Structure 1
């Protein structure tokens, strides 16, 4: 099966299994894309639209033809290996377990679901109660921190409640996402009916009165005592099935816990009641109303609490922009002008534009012009010395349809 390819300049998807690449309105597209081989492969704008795309990897490709078969080849061997990484039996067993648990609880669940735009692909996607969408990710192999950060960020933008499950201690010790960990088990035990105990990732929140009996200085003042209540988290027992059912029904929720605004972020799972109490208190080290009255502190929430961007993008901001309003960086950028269809991808001109391997270019920005080299045939031919348009002025120009 041929690998799907995305052309970044033309904004089209190429299907190598079809003679016209899936675009009958663009004749001889295959020959045009392979015409100018002097252009570096990374500047031709061809990217893998398969597994690399699903995993958020920017993998460049080039086209070739072998024994009459058209192929799209990765430039990097590491990107090529992503297509041959087998799914372990333990990974498949965890997927089946999550789907079974969700369906027995009355929810709908699917495996290997791609997000809109194919930005990420979820191992399991559960449609829970009240419009809750739970994304289950199983990670039983090593993975880089940037990869996890990208997939978690996209999941947050899509509004997913994310369960990241692993059996590796080094992964569960990180705080780059909401990790839960169980023991290393064979597939038969994972698929069994006994609930798998979560060793880390689920916590119970408690609040201690800030005073001499607490034995620790106030996390806000860094010294002394304020008399208020400060939250902390402690290990709590729960099973994997109970976690899935609770997340799908809204009884359990993930939070980002900070003891102080400058301390380390802990991404943990807690009960919905603990989450509401934690957030209602304003986040880290915010006393309850009763404690605030006793310590003569303000009853209002913290003034540094992030607010939604007024631009309507849904992002949270905590600083004012130059106009004095809460607007994120993305909404302060000027809108990019829309170029007319068929214009030069370099400058936007519509005069003398032709299709090259690097996209549509005018005469001033052809690959040869940018390289300060002479045009093939002194601009008398379509590149490379074969006429594609049928209007070349030179009488000896060979026509592409004859080859």
Structure 2
């Protein structure tokens, strides 16, 4: 039980002991947070310890970091209390085996090419552990985060920020097109394959997350259409766009997981964030 939670939708801390929950200008807040979990986002309310990157005993005991609000009982009083939701989704044995095989493959490949590589490396503040940490020349450090089962967007953000605060560039790996980590941090998506294929060296191609910058002059002889005008018009300007390898002109070779590991650690490939043209906070990580 706790008397405080983090509201992931509003980005505010809620104190259940204060009048108006500490936010008197939000009169509907109590109704929102006491709604049935079935009628709201299960990840609306987050454990404060989890949000701050600290260890939570309830999580260590098998509960999730997500909370629900109920009425407790203290004598004649019925105070609001926050409790952890049970874990409803754990990595399956197959996912755990895939995770282990991928981690070992990344470390073994990097070591074979002379890079410093180590598995299960805790950060200095002990708030998280990199599945694989690769160190290249010039002080570049890449912290691989392999997530083959569900991981919340807030957890992706928290762990990525924590890594960057320790001069580690996070690189997330998913196998699902709908994974919540996509475009929330530097990422790559690979095929869903048995762990034996991963351990056996079967080719693992990055299906998303890796792009090439192509620059061209928008003239009639250009093989690309103008992105700023309708139809086949040409504006005469210089354009630059990011393309998946298969959509480059000429087509680029597919990027394998080993390529990504080596190139990211040596600086030949770098993480960038490209905001959408319409503005706002949304954009693409690649």
Q: Name the TM-score, length of structure 2 as normaliser.
A: 0.60
Whether 2:153 is the aligned partner of 1:145: answer yes
Report if aligned partners of 1:89, 1:187 keep a CA contact under 8 Å in 2.
yes
2:274 to 215, 237, 257: 257
Q: Which moved more, 1:81-90 or 1:241-250?
A: 81-90
Whether 2:218 is the aligned partner of 1:207: answer no
Q: Whole-Å Cα distance in 2 between the matches of residues 259 and 209 of structure 1?
A: 22
* Structure 2 residue aligned with 1:230: 239
* Structure 1 residue aligned with 2:261: 244
Report if aligned partners of 1:51, 1:83 keep a CA contact under 8 Å in 2.
no
2:198 to 190, 195, 200: 190
Whether 2:234 is the aligned partner of 1:216: answer no
Report if aligned partners of 1:133, 1:248 keep a CA contact under 8 Å in 2.
yes
1:101 to 109, 112, 122: 109
Whether 2:126 is the aligned partner of 1:115: answer no
Q: Whole-Å Cα distance in 2 between the matches of residues 128 and 211 of structure 1?
A: 41
Report if aligned partners of 1:195, 1:241 keep a CA contact under 8 Å in 2.
no
> CA 1:193 to 1:232, structure 2 compared with 1: closer, same or farther past 3 Å?
same
Give the alignment of 1:61-140 within 5 angstroms.
76=84, 78=86, 88-140=96-148
Q: What is the CA-CA distance between 1:255 and the residue it aligns to?
A: 0.8
Q: What is the CA-CA distance between 1:204 and the residue it aligns to?
A: 1.1
Report if aligned partners of 2:153, 2:184 keep a CA contact under 8 Å in 1.
yes
Task: Return 5+ residue gaps in structure 1 as ranges.
Answer: 1-41, 60-73, 219-223, 269-403
> CA 1:47 to 1:118, structure 2 compared with 1: closer, same or farther past 3 Å?
closer
* Structure 2 residue aligned with 1:266: 284
Give the alignment of 1:144-163 within 5 angstroms.
144-163=152-171
3-state SS of 2:271 partner: strand
Report if aligned partners of 2:152, 2:180 keep a CA contact under 8 Å in 1.
no
* Structure 2 residue aligned with 1:288: none
Q: What is the CA-CA distance between 1:83 and the residue it aligns to?
A: 10
Report if aligned partners of 1:93, 1:190 keep a CA contact under 8 Å in 2.
yes
Report if aligned partners of 2:276, 2:284 keep a CA contact under 8 Å in 1.
no
Q: What is the CA-CA distance between 1:158 and the residue it aligns to?
A: 2.1
> CA 1:84 to 1:91, structure 2 compared with 1: closer, same or farther past 3 Å?
closer
3-state SS of 1:168 partner: coil
Q: What is the CA-CA distance between 1:50 and the residue it aligns to?
A: 9.5
Report if aligned partners of 2:153, 2:181 keep a CA contact under 8 Å in 1.
no
Report if aligned partners of 1:210, 1:226 keep a CA contact under 8 Å in 2.
yes
Q: Whole-Å Cα distance in 2 between the matches of residues 170 and 267 of structure 1?
A: 15
Give the alignment of 1:262-301 within 5 angstroms.
262=279, 264-268=282-286
> CA 1:216 to 1:76, structure 2 compared with 1: closer, same or farther past 3 Å?
closer
* Structure 2 residue aligned with 1:359: none
* Structure 2 residue aligned with 1:278: none
> CA 1:242 to 1:84, structure 2 compared with 1: closer, same or farther past 3 Å?
closer
Q: Whole-Å Cα distance in 1 between the matches of residues 91 and 278 of structure 2?
A: 44
Counting matched residue pairs gives 202
Q: What is the CA-CA distance between 1:49 and the residue it aligns to?
A: 6.2
> CA 1:253 to 1:216, structure 2 compared with 1: closer, same or farther past 3 Å?
closer
